[in-house]
Chain A
């Protein structure tokens, strides 16, 4: 018991960090589907309880970690909101447990025209919203057009860019003077989605896009009843109209959300749960304490508690490690100014931009023992990474590791780099700027890397911890030599990961530009044969890794604790908050 006490006390350190102002909400989650038959991490489902074994009270207690910023499906972009929306709404198609696309509110998969640009969906019979109104084809049209409407300013509108007419609307952003309502309406009328009758939805694409069915499975493509969403306070519990397995029964802001089964839910799997009780604990140590006190049925284990929890005789067996489509890496500044797409002016003196030197980057890469890094700073949770495309995505290259940990080779590369830079030793380079966002647990990782480089080469770094927004801006502008970074897949496709290195791209935090790489990326995007496209993406990734553009460190695994009586969890790599939160309707509570 004493061990547990000190474990919880150790969490205090995190709170101190948190008080520095860290509420970095992470970006859009991995929420689209893996193409069928891909080597996605095996989706697992815990065995279902037999009816006799079910507990009388089918209430699931979970924690969201924060107040969802919105429950308006067209406006959501963060993992907390999406986690709740997965329970409340469904679109024409959805995922199955292996993340294949399957019909949801549509009666069957769409008819696709021969040019692959027109998709025709037919709705199931007798669909109803939670308020009893019929779900009509025009509600899908309304939802999509609303998302694209610049007056709503929906952050995720851009994923619809492949639709006919969508780009004209997206281009209206920031126009001065602002376009008139009539002009916007004209463009909205031209968007490639229509409802010829109450049960048919026709989607027209500007270019064939094989992945567009995945987009239609996202939370932004659910039916939205106009008479509902235009009401004031539409997303409050009293007014909420849902099309999914659950309804919003209660939303006490910053405190609690309660979901209850939707009596009008048309899906094959009806929820066994009679209630999902979601709290909003922003402090991970408190959520962990609540789990240990029996108030929560699942919790994400705070990283500083992982070692203690795994060793605990009671808690240890409750641990579930879930691989996620995420990679932790650190960027090198490769020296290209994102504003001009030419080398930074200061790099005229190579000493000022040591990380623009390839040998220098290779030396830093080979000086890091990734396994030791993970053991020391992630409690050993996660797999060492040597590429950006992660396992589970077509195009993952398990054998790609041009620069493994090797101190001798690292020193040779450093010697070559120093000669090219014209300095006698690494210390004469002065302090390299090493940026990270403070208060989010990155401090020990930054310290580990800085220390490893200091011991290997005598390299000095200035570790600059900044407020999240400030850090992001500095990193994008290339004001650091080294910086913390990470990526979670938006959709399981190599294009999403490798897009990080396209010259001038919005997320090119490594200031990397290589025309050969860019050419391969273009070629791969245009390739319709999936196998050939994957081969091209592999070639492209090999170029980036051979250039040592970034330092990949770890493929992410998240540790959760789940009470043994929670059954029927369908966990997938797309879970945004907790195991199985894409499919709340399959969860059951066993007698305990």
Chain B
């Protein structure tokens, strides 16, 4: 088991290497550069800036420079926020984003899983229709619509929460709900489908027929088996949530790092863009390993060697 985990973790390295190569060369293949403005800077100024940041070297040389520094933990200078390094920028927003992501993840699991179970137990009856409706609305409502609705009702009209910012617990509520909306719906649907599948299994009928109380069948036999597919999606969901959401952070004015996924591309802030891509790639790869390991704990049939 330990050997398996170590092997899987080591595999993350070539994955990151491939991702970095593809991203780096794609990024430089796109026209434009970090010094583009609506009003063109004089050519001499652009030359001077390119020379200062080594952007006049061939792309492969730039890659080697970047990779060498990356391995040493230096993410490079930001071309947009010229007084700050990418390390500082990422460190500044990282914990805010992770905090928001983890809160949304917890909310999504705490609401989504019971909602799915509730729907499955009341299959094709009122509770199912109710829960299914909720989750379909959740999936169909983009997060920016949900965010604006939350702001309009709870911040502007009722005044219960601030419209945006990140200065204390009352600022956390609306963005957490907005960010969790979609994962709640997805998790609820997976849980429901998976529960329904389990309900028809022979061992559930056996459990019922040997006289176990309904509650104990549900909690000890059904839910545990039904959660395996759900856990599969929890890994990528967590990776998605803790690396931040451009939309939610933008709408609520949250000082996280999610916004940089988009802004670093449009401002051609190459080193920031690389840092964000590597971070996301690492989160996805690593959490997939975690999920695979979790399988083994939940399902005794799964064993790695």
Contacts and interface: CB of A to CB of B under 8 A. Distances in A.
B89 A253 contact: yes
Nearest to A486: B38
B34 to A, nearest CB: 9
A281 interface: yes
Interface string A85-117: 000000000000000000000000000000000
B32 A467 contact: yes
Contacts of A295: 162-163
A26 B37 CA distance: 7
Contacts of A18: 250
A286 B252 contact: yes
B83 A173 contact: no
Contact of A153 (B36, B48, B56): B48
Nearest to B52: A153
Given A153-B48, A254-B92, A254-B93, A476 B156 contact: no
Interface in A156-196: 157-158, 170-175, 178
A282 B45 contact: no
Contacts of B32: 467-470, 472-473
Nearest to A158: B42
A28 B39 contact: yes
A506 B43 contact: yes
A472 B36 contact: yes
B268 interface: yes
Contact of A283 (B36, B40, B145, B253): B253
Given A15-B148, A469-B31, A174 B36 contact: no
A21 B52 contact: no
Contacts of A286: 151, 163-164, 250-253
Interface string A246-279: 0000001111100000000000000000000001
A528 interface: no
| Residues of B in contact with A, size category | 35 or more
Interface string B52-95: 10001000000000000000000000001111100001001100
Interface stretch (A4-12, A339-347, A416-424): A4-12
Contacts of A28: 37, 39
Contact of B45 (A12, A157, A252, A254): A157
A252 B92 CA distance: 9
Interface string A102-146: 000000000000000000000000000000000000000000000
Nearest to B79: A69
Contacts of B237: none
Given A19-B144, A253-B89, A5 B162 contact: no
B23 interface: no
Interface in A23-49: 23-28
Question: Which of B39, B155, B167: most chain A CB closer than 10 A?
Answer: B39
A16 B196 CA distance: 37
A221 to B, nearest CB: 18
A576 B97 CA distance: 31
A123 B256 CA distance: 44
A282 B156 contact: no
A75 B82 contact: yes
Contacts of A292: 156
B266 A21 contact: yes
B283 interface: no
B213 to A, nearest CB: 49
Interface string B242-286: 000011001111011001001101111000000000000000000
Given A70-B81, A173-B45, A285 B36 contact: no
A442 interface: no
A19 B259 contact: no
B31 A178 contact: no
Contacts of A72: 82-83
B36 A19 contact: no
Given A21-B262, A173-B44, A473-B36, A289 B31 contact: no
Interface string A484-523: 0011001000000000000000110000000000000000
Given A174-B51, A255-B165, A468 B250 contact: no
Given A281-B164, A293-B163, A507-B40, A71 B148 contact: no
B267 A282 contact: no
A414 interface: no
A23 B152 contact: no
B219 interface: no
28 contacts: A5-B152, A8-B151, A23-B266, A23-B267, A25-B37, A27-B39, A67-B81, A75-B82, A153-B52, A158-B42, A170-B44, A175-B51, A255-B166, A283-B250, A283-B251, A285-B148, A285-B251, A286-B252, A289-B163, A467-B30, A467-B32, A467-B266, A468-B32, A469-B30, A469-B33, A469-B266, A472-B36, A506-B43
Interface of B: 30-33, 35-45, 47-52, 56, 80-84, 89, 92-93, 144-145, 148-149, 151-152, 155-157, 159, 162-167, 246-247, 250-253, 255-256, 259, 262-263, 265-268
Given A253-B84, A472-B36, A487-B39, 10 more contacts: A1-B157, A11-B148, A150-B48, A153-B45, A253-B89, A255-B166, A289-B152, A289-B156, A295-B162, A506-B42
